[in-house]
Structure 1
Amino acid sequence: MNLAPVDYESSSSTLGAEIKLRNLRVGYAEQDVLSNIDLDVKAGEFIALLGASGCGKTTLLRALAGFVPVRGGSISVDGQDMSHTTPENRGMAMMFQSYALWPHMNVAQNIGYGLRLRKKSKAQVASRVQEMAALVGLGDLIHRKIGALSGGQRQRVALARALAIDPPVLLLDEPLSNLDAGIRANMRHEIRSLQQRLGLTTVLVTHDREEAMSMADRVVILNQGRIAQVGTPEDVFHTPANPYVARFMGAGNTLHGVAEIGPSSIDLTLDGETHRLPVPGQDRSGVHFPESQSGPVEILFHSDAARLGGASDDCLSLPGTVLQHSYLGSVYRHEIQVGEARIMVDNPHKMPIGVVVDVSVPATALSLFPAKSQTAVTGHEAATPAAQHL
């Protein structure tokens, strides 16, 4: 079931609003959950809040909606301070993880609930309900009870109810987490398509990296109540600002070595062997290797960036031994012993356990960070900007 096309001329939905957060501080009881949050969201932009459980992403969404009081700083929408405005006066619609549908009402009654609260006439409610039901592909089901709907259909009812009030800002609290994998993947693209056509400013909370990257214009990665990095999906994936972001974005392989950084090349010494790799050219803007960063480093990379064999001058090539493998459907994931480290490498062909292989990782797929204590693993240094990317 696909979402219906939108007629730009006849659609009553408004263009999204601009959101600015300045030095925002939010918490519960005596505990601050969020602090020093500064973020600009453009009108019509889709932002995903991404991070591990307890990082503060849901609290930030609820603060935007007005359900959590602001302790400091400000939330402004189109230049108007909304920090202490009640939820019903913020012009925002929120779609909850549980959908929060009324089980004793049918589809039409659920979609029209917010309109009735706003004292719209019966004729206005009926017309808008028909419009929204058609928009999300539920035009034939408006008289059906909620209990008779599938998970995907309930999700569409919740979306239609949120959109019915013409919100300039749409807040989504993990709306797809209760759906089966196949339906979830389809709904990602449908919600994104609808958001783009209506021009709504949308903020999504998710712990799913793939969901955030496939839906959002920009991703905001939170760690321990602070912003660790903001950027496009490509930015945060390929040029993470710190080890926390790199690992959260799937760069689970870690090697330790010593870097000697020059103006045009970098020498990496691992297990007593030195490898010379190129420094990226001007096509990789923003990448820089200050001389002061030479020294012990952590080297992080994704399993699908590495390959078995195929060494070249612009690759880090290391010998290793296959410990085990598993089939992922399109590739085999191999666990490889490299020196004292164990890393994961994806390969289209299965390699026998115990065989010696060469692991090759393109220089552009490596992220280098100054080596630190064990806090580098837990992410306590997430606010530190010092990161080098090959």
Structure 2
Amino acid sequence: MNDGPGIAGVRKIIHVDMDAFFASVEQRDNPELRGKPVAVGGSTGRGVVAAASYEARVFGVRSAMPSITARRRCPDLLFVKPRFDAYAEVSRQIRAIFADYTPHVEPLSLDEAYLDVTDHLADLGTATAVAEQIRARIRAETGLTASAGVSYNKFLAKLASDQNKPDGLCVITPAKGPAFVASLPVSRFHGVGPKTAERMARLGIQTGADLRACSLEFLTHNFGSSGPYYHDLARAICHRRVSAHRVRKSIGAEDTFFEDLREESALAVELARIADTVWSRIDAKRGISGRTVTLKVKYQDFRIITRSRSLDRPVADRDEFLEIGIDLLRATLPPPKAIRLLGLTLSNLSDGAPQPAPEPPEFALPLY
């Protein structure tokens, strides 16, 4: 594919996003689920949908939706328990594929990542060809599909990857960037959450074109330090670099119980299950360690407390992680009210990686 003439100083960024990742892994591994509406997560009571297949999304089922609502929208919905070890293994396969094309890979989660291929186009010539080959290899080696966006900055690459889902590819060249942004609702912009989108709507800002019509002074007055950022986005400008050595601030998990709990033994069982989930995510990162364990407790009346403990060394393993969590829990017992949710997090993370290499030079390349 000819992506247009090269422009000096322009980067070549790919955003790869797996399609309905958790649900797709379950459908791949269980043929009886294929072509059917599937939700990964708890199926009863206060369960929550962690991921939904595209067959389920047709009915309006979405991640983070209460399971009871999902079931109401799709009576034939099939619930499966999450298998984070399986998802982590597929994630490792995908990242190994990325590494064959560039060392500049910034994972955002198990199922998506940015790749800077500015000076790593191999023999393929264009970033579009790289993205096409990566998608083909993911399908061949994992049996799953991925969508990709190709553009000259992270903001546009992420928007592009969502444009033709599932199993799609979208390329946004410098010539097309401003017009593409102008046509979109601001709610799709990275950094514009629901509350900010509502505030913008009250100011008459619904689309990228509306945002571009606002002066820097107006945006700074209404949105403070975020004003210049929104001013740039409206012009398809994004200066964020692909950071290959970005380390997450924390890794954790939490669960809302079907029934509120008071007894230490029942709470300990639930906390052990949560610790297993967190540690599987830590193992998936390979080399990540952390020194601080934080317990989150939500009571029947929705009041939340947190308790933390930091070590002078990394937490050794899952057993020590859980042991610290249990100690923190015991310090809150007996609870003033029944407990509806527990969460456990590891923070003060380190990946033991060497210092990041210098940013790749910006120079002209022939094609996108």
Structure with the larger strand share: 1
TM-score range, shorter chain: under 0.3
| TM score, norm. by length of structure 2 | 0.25
Bigger radius of gyration among the two: 1
